[in-house]
Structure 1
Amino acid sequence: MTFYDCCWEYSRGKSEDWLGKGLKGVREKAFLMTKVCTHGRDAALAMQMLEQSLRRLQADHLDLWQIHGVTCQNDPDLFIRSNGAAEALHKAKQEGKVRFVGFTGHKGPDIHLAMLNTGFPFDAVQMPLNPLDANFFSFEKKVPVLVERGIAPLGMKPIGGHGEPVGVFTAEELLRYAMSLPVATTISGVSEPHILEQNLKIAQAFVPMTTQEMEVIRERAKPYVGDGHFELYKTSIKFDNPEAPLAHEFPIDMQSVEVKQMVYSTGNSGRPYPDVSQ
């Protein structure tokens, strides 16, 4: 396991700090990725965030730098506009501070297509890929577009946002399904040592599913996808990181761990935060 997923705003910067300490002395063995959280703000802010990320990660360059959480219909226009974040991605790559660039998101596949249609030369695109997604506002059905264009598909949320589908499926079925898709890598969150051990065991014994096996899994998923309750990252604000709605003056989920971290810390979004006493 050499691909490390991180983000400027995770735990208000602590995640990058921790990852930088963890990779000290072995940085060259890792494929290091983090995300920039302009959420439609300008190129100058993106470059400031890049310098902060590099400092926290104790790195002189990233292997992959991605726009974080493309969520809103106007995000592609804000990204590609003059002095938008697209200019920062291009500049960072020119200066050798990043090797590859991309974007992530889990809200809607059509927003991803709109990002691609800006014409920006992305190297990678990250999206949720699992059997439930295959039946509901499906990102999986757009993967062939990436393959045709030579863009690396990165799969995330193979076991759902917090493992909610486990019970309907086993973790092994979900991971094997996601890993059997034509992706460059499958990104699975690990919160406990036993989950890491489970994922390693599945990966070490991995045999791709056949086309027929994958279709059986998709059919099993169909009864559970109608209201999107297993994919709340598509249908609610529960998984929206706080910088995105703040940038668009949208509501934020006050029960979200990341929102609580933001509210009770010194913020760096340049906006006043809501009064949580109300």
Structure 2
Amino acid sequence: MDTLTLQIMNTEFYIAMPKGIHVVWKEKVEKWLQYVAKEWSRFQSNNELSQLNSLEIGKTLRISSLLYDCLIQADRYYQLSNGLFSPYLKRQLEQHGYNQSFPFDTAKSKAFQNKPLMAERPYEFLGGEQVMRVAQQEIDLGGFAKGYVIEKLANWLEQEVSPDFGLIDGGGDMKVWSSGEKSWTIGVADAWDIDKEISSIKLKTGAIATSNRVYRSWMQGTVKKHHVLNGQTGEIANTEVIQASVVTSSLCDAEVGAKLCFLMDESKLQKWFENNCQQSARFIVKEGQAANWRMTGVK
């Protein structure tokens, strides 16, 4: 296979395609990932996301069609989850001490005071890539942006470069496709040891996303924090779930579904997957419990 490996968006990307492809794809893929990493990061100033987050209430801004579409998609999941999944938690993440790129072990700020989360969305989407600021919350696209970008890249590669097969892996968030006999065996990492696998799944076409609260965790003063927040409260998710992997057709569905595994009880989670994913499987690791695959919509 012809492969591309690069470190970007604080993630190692690995892309595998058939050999002998005549379309020049590596340079385009790398250039696009570099653009998104620069313009959508909340840790950089003077980029497109920072312009949006610094917009005054009542003002409008025209943004790129790509960022507009990503925000529309993220906002749709915000509504589908009644705000449990939220792309509007930048201030809350910073207040919890997540105001620097990983890896880090200790927050720079020890004091934390949670501001009330606005019930309404902070932005209105007016069409034509126009966005209006209506409240104080700010955007952090986080892992959702990575899943969105991988999905867009996979669609382009499949349609324009190699309909036969391909794989994109962005730090464990993966999209694969195959039009024939090619299949992919994807390992599920141990929640405590990323180099060890505890299960696997064989896929021809589909997506898998994994969220883990061990690797993105830190101390703020004497309190242990992690990156999964409850979008309704702005608080760190209080959960026994350590790691969740979701397999379905859409990487955006899988990315959001993995986060919801930390935020919903099993009955509500099952209903959410039944309502929003035709077929899916999830693998959840909890404290002190054995992990098993749970299927939705699979006959």
TM-score tier by shorter-chain length is under 0.3
Which structure's residues are more often strand, by fraction? 2
Relative to the length of structure 2, the TM-score reads 0.24
Relative to the length of structure 1, the TM-score reads 0.25
Which structure's residues are more often helix, by fraction? 1
